Amino acid sequence: MTEILDLFGEPVPANWGGRGRPQHIPTQQNRNKVSMLLALGWANPRIAAAMFVTLPTLRKHYFSELKFRDVARDRLDARTAITLWDQFQAGNVAAGKAFREFVEHNDLMIYGQTSPPEPTAPKLGKKEQALADANSPDTGTTLGELMARRQGVSVGERPN
């Protein structure tokens, strides 16, 4: 007998259309979905809403996945690293680049950084540089001293 699936690919319970609410059927696909959402840091109410189940149903059928919440992200990262490495070993150059970026990101996390260092400020264009220069006059000249006084900056200091 073939399994009947609904529009979203979920199995239809045997008592569908009968009296009472049909019981939720946990599938391996749903278990994987719960594990993925846990790895992404989702809270139980949000996972239950995404799965179209209640919180008690989520806890009842997916308790084994929920108890690994603390290591779900590490398991996902480990699986991602293994997959990227296997693809690189198979000759996928893009996977090698992605693996290198993954390792760099992982190294940043090890040393307590959350992102790469901030890049230096971009080079200003002609108009932006002229505006910046106009707002910070050169006090080494007579005209610069006059402009600085009008801006309220004492002659010995430069505005920020």
pLDDT digits (tens, 9 = 90+) for 10-60: 777 776 776 777 778 888 999 999 999 999 999 999 999 998 899 999 999
Name the more confident of 14 and 150.
Answer: 150
- Rounded to an integer, the average pLDDT of 126-151 is 83
* Helix locations, 12-66, DSSP H: 28-39, 44-51, 55-61, 63-66
DSSP type of residue 7: T
Burial of 77 (0-12, 13-18, 19+ CB in 10 A): middle
Residue 13 region by backbone torsions, left for phi larger than 0, else alpha for psi between -120 and 50, else beta: beta
Cα torsion 30, 38, 69, 59: sign = negative
pLDDT at 120 over 60: yes
Q: Under a CB-based contact definition with an 8 Å cutoff, are residues 34 and 75 in contact?
A: no
The distance in angstroms from the start CA to the end CA of the chain is 77
Establish how many alpha carbons lie within 13 A of residue 90's alpha carbon, considering only the half-sphere containing its beta carbon.
Answer: 9
Is the pTM value of this prediction over 0.75?
no
